Structure 1
């Protein structure tokens, strides 16, 4: 059912250009990985504080406020480069289980981070059982997304 869409994506001029270029895919992938590093940093600062690990001199709300612009930048970079990388190998992605794990987990990770975690972090004063749960779930969701994305290259 979705295969014709994936074939169309790969056949687009942009998909062909990226796939046939010697440098475009590696440059896009490098930018994608830099975005992943920025995302990881922005997530870890807040999530580790939610878990009660480190940065205890700063409030959760303060860390969240400072990390949020970096988080949003990283998500924008990752989504834009991810779409371009996808276009260059859409049919491979269609048959790749790791791609489907990543692509189905990604919306949950984004929604959880921007809706549940961000709302909680803005009002959290101290580490609690609920804050540890929020930090753990957030880290696990993003780990699955990152691991799925990394595994695409190996399958």
Structure 2
């Protein structure tokens, strides 16, 4: 059940010119969705490469150097993902808010973000000990595997939104 204040916000957003353009334009929604997917591909690709390294692939690559290279790509991808996602949401906010798959997608994104934050403030602080040629600590490997699982689930939810 959507709270009344949130339903009112959704109704306001639905009535905006931007939302109308997203609904009525022949090409606007598909272009915005393509930008969203491209940005998400960059984000998940960067995350997956880093997580696979933490899980033990390519141990000759320094974890810190790989992270320093991939993190800017992941952060920059948010400049594509967030505005595009908000535009798509604006097209039918009431429908999205009522869709349990959308709620699940947002929850999974929040969990993936929390997992990443905990990784960086936790086990990653000791990365010097396992930077090159050494297995990451079990906690780091669990968090990397969880990260991969969460992002695959987010992708699945994104696709399921078209069918639910």
Q: Say yes or no: TM over 0.5.
A: yes
- Structure-2 separation of matches of 1:68 and 1:122: 16
1:81 aligns with 2:116: no
Deviations 1:94-119 (A, max 9, x none): 22111010122222322332x22334
Partner of 2:17: 13
- Which residue, 136, 160, 164 being the options, matches 1:151? 160
- Structure-2 separation of matches of 1:133 and 1:81: 31
Runs of 4+ in structure 1 over 3 Å off: 118-123
Deviations 1:26-75 (A, max 9, x none): 000001110111012101111001111x2221121111111000110112
Gaps of 5+ in 1: none
Write the mapping of 1:1-155 to structure 2, written as runs, cut at 5 A: 1=3, 2-52=6-56, 54-113=57-116, 115-119=117-121, 120-121=123-124, 123-124=126-127, 125=130, 126=134, 127-155=136-164
- Structure-1 separation of matches of 2:78 and 2:113: 8
Deviations 1:109-137 (A, max 9, x none): 22332x22334446422322112111012
CA contact (8 A) 1:10 1:87 kept: yes
- Structure-2 separation of matches of 1:121 and 1:24: 41
- Please give the TM-score of this superposition, normalised by the length of structure 1: 0.90
- Structure-2 separation of matches of 1:5 and 1:49: 43
- Please give the TM-score of this superposition, normalised by the length of structure 2: 0.85
CA contact (8 A) 1:61 1:121 kept: no
